[in-house]
Amino acid sequence: MKPDEIERYLKRNDMHPDSITGIDSEGRLVEIEINNGDWKHEHGRLRHLMAQAGYVRQDIEVTQEDGSDCFSAVHTYAKI
């Protein structure tokens, strides 16, 4: 899926990431950014929804955390 298709898919499932960036032209690698999201409700749900779409998380770069249940991160997914 291309980034705009992923965005529509996630929105249909009540997920609203801060940004979605395609790393390659075919949409096989994508970066999805979530700012100040709860570990379970945003970050965990993203992983679940992307798995259902046939993607597996390759990397997660935590960009901000304060010791609470919320943090910011960029998730990298690859189409399997």
Residues 6+ apart with CB under 8 A from 33: 17, 18, 19, 20, 21, 63, 72, 73, 74, 75
Model confidence pLDDT, tens digit, residues 42-80 = 999 999 999 999 999 999 999 999 989 999 999 999 998
Supply the DSSP symbol for 42. Answer: I
Instruction: Using alpha carbons only, give the angle 15, 40, 30 rounded to the nearest 5 degrees.
Output: 50
Model confidence pLDDT, tens digit, residues 6-25 = 999 999 999 999 999 988 87
pLDDT at residue 74, as a whole number: 97
pLDDT at residue 52, as a whole number: 97
